[in-house]
Amino acid sequence: MAVITNDIIKEVKEVICDFFAEECEVDRSTITDNTRIIKDLGGDSLMFLELIEIFKKKYNLDVELKTIGKYTVKHPVETIGQLIETQMKIIEFENKLIDLEK
Amino acid sequence: MTRKVVVTGMNIISSLGLDLQTNWEHLVQGKSGVGYIRGFDASNLQTKIAAEVPDSFEEYAKSFIRKRQAGQMTRVTRMCVVCAMEAVKAAHIDFGQLDRSRCAVIIGVVNTGNSSVEKGTKPQNTIFKSMTNSMPAWIALEYGLTGPSFAVNTACASSAYSLGLGFDLIRSGQADLVITGGADSIINPEEMAGFNALYALSVRNDPPEKASCPFSKNRDGFVVGEGAGIVILESEDSARARGAEILAEVAGYALTGEAYNIMAPMTDGAGMAITMEKALKNAGLTTDDIDYINAHGTSTELNDRFETMAIKTVFGPRAHHIPVSSTKSMTGHTIGAAGAIESAITVMSIRESIVPPTVNYDDPDPELDLDYVPNQARKHTIRAAMSNSFGFGGHNASLVFRKFQP
């Protein structure tokens, strides 16, 4: 369980936007919270997994993929904003993410 | 009435160039694509030469494939996809106007090239890069094609098989259009060392461009090439309905297995002869109808001897009057891509009435006495032509193309 600070929020946003700008070859400034990952950026679901790995290393997270899977089934991620929100939850709750559903 | 199967698009990426026209011009000029290996340090290998695709390919590919997808493909897979995209463009196909569920993709491939020469692979991409079926999958994804999509592996005959299978999908009414072809590269230290251990490769490294010399007395093994070839097959009805230019007709083909030896062809080319005979029969043609044979012609002792014998068995006295050339003398042996590359070359020969030469034919083997079109291209009217592919494991294919007559 991590305490989410403004610095962490800023950092997560930056990592996610930089990642999509680089991988999808789009101008970083065009990515907003409402940008749709697949329809607007031509992204794919594997990118979500790659980002999880990046954040697991960065914040030394103890979280299993199946926990995230169960969470995202109920909270689908379509836009960059939703992705940032989900990543913040993962960082905040790690494996206890599952408890949010109880 | 049998549905006619026609060719409406083609492309080649090889050591001779990144598009069909450049390849054709170099083939007619008798230019060799063989050189010292640039892709890795080959100093410890017996064979230090290969026919590598020009280094400019990667920059060229960027205008076709997005960075994200490019990272999920090997260099060879990118060659396949780029080659297909250019062939589709050349054929002026608008898939929005076709029934995509009746459009198929069949790609012949043995190796995706996911070897030690492939650098910087993310763990998430390892499997995509290794899957041979990724090549047809990427092409189907590009155009949203939902007909059959699969890879076929029959070693050096792989992409010839893809054309044969595509032909049948159309003739049997299961598809209207099939993107066929192949892509391959074994230009990496592991596989070249393996082929060296089998004494299959030429070790005459100097000068590189002289090493591939099919049918010559001094031939000492094949020279490895790499690349991609795509041939778009379509029913005559589909081609006509969209006003496509018909480049040639696929008259027929044959596939056979020798069940003889994992490496060597059947003695005296018996299996090769059976394949050619069956292909002629399937095409409804006789030996008199064939005006050119694009030979498998690998520059190995056994293939060239046995293929010559097989041609004589099938064509009798006429064998000496049919130009037989091996374009592997220039492209090297592109393994899984060879059948498709050589099919495209054969169709170009029919259209242009030009037979590309067998280069490096400087030291004739007295026992091999056909007209191998030595060293210089030749003007020659071709009504119908045959392209042969014979693979390790005894996988044989002969394809017959003819000038399209409405």
Provide the pLDDT confidence category of residue A87 given band limits of 50, 70 and 90: very high
What ipTM goes with this model?
0.81
Write down the pLDDT at residue B328: 98
Rounded to the nearest angstrom, the minimum Cα separation between A3 and chain B is 30
Collect all residues of chain B within an 8 Å Cβ-Cβ radius of residue A24: 66-68
Write down the pLDDT at residue A2: 73
Task: Report pLDDT digits (tens) over B317-372.
Answer: 999 999 999 999 999 999 999 999 999 999 999 999 999 999 999 999 999 999 99
Closest to B184 (Cα-Cα) out of B335, B310, B317 = B335
Rounded to the nearest angstrom, the minimum Cα separation between A12 and chain B is 21
Q: Do A24 and B66 touch (CB under 8 A)?
A: yes
Task: Say if residue A1's pLDDT is above 80.
Answer: no
Please, are residues A97 and A52 in contact by the beta-carbon 8 Å criterion?
no
Per-residue DSSP letters for B185-243? E--SHHHHHHHHHTT-B----SSGGGS--TTBTT--SB-BBEEEEEEEEEEHHHHHHTT
Backbone angles phi, psi at B398, to 5 degrees: -130, 130
**Per-residue pLDDT tens digits of chain B, which is 406 residues long:** 578 999 999 999 999 999 999 999 999 999 999 999 999 999 999 999 999 999 999 999 999 999 999 999 999 999 999 999 999 999 999 999 999 999 999 999 999 999 999 988 988 899 999 999 999 999 999 999 999 999 999 999 999 999 999 999 999 999 999 999 999 999 999 999 999 999 999 999 999 999 999 999 999 999 999 999 999 999 999 999 999 999 999 999 999 999 999 999 999 999 999 999 999 999 999 999 999 999 999 999 999 999 999 999 999 999 999 999 999 999 999 999 999 999 999 999 999 999 999 999 999 999 999 999 999 999 999 999 999 999 999 999 999 999 999 8
Q: Do A46 and B67 touch (CB under 8 A)?
A: no
Please, are residues B98 and B177 in contact by the beta-carbon 8 Å criterion?
yes
Please, are residues B234 and B97 in contact by the beta-carbon 8 Å criterion?
no
Interface test with A, best of B63, B67, B68, B138 (most A CBs within 10 A): B68
Task: State the Cα–Cα distance between residues B32 and B213, nearest whole angstrom.
Answer: 11
- Token pair for B293: 């044979």
Task: State the Cα–Cα distance between residues B52 and B246, nearest whole angstrom.
Answer: 31
Closest to B34 (Cα-Cα) out of B360, B356, B296 = B360
Rounded to the nearest angstrom, the minimum Cα separation between A9 and chain B is 26
Give the mean pLDDT of A75-83: 95
Q: Do A25 and B122 touch (CB under 8 A)?
A: no
Count CB-CB contacts under 10 A for residue B384: 23
For chain B, positions 56-85, list CB contacts with chain A under 8 A.
66-68
Rounded to the nearest angstrom, the minimum Cα separation between B324 and chain A is 49
Q: Which residues of B are catalytic?
A: 156, 296, 333
**Minimum-distance CB partner of B66 among A25, A46, A50:** A25
Collect all residues of chain A within an 8 Å Cβ-Cβ radius of residue B122: 50
Is residue B172 within 8 angstroms of chain A, CB to CB?
A: no
Write down the pLDDT at residue A4: 87
Name the H helices within B325-405: 328-331, 338-352
**Minimum-distance CB partner of A49 among B66, B67, B124:** B124
Size of interface A-B (CB pairs under 8 A): 17
Task: State the Cα–Cα distance between residues B42 and B33, nearest whole angstrom.
Answer: 17
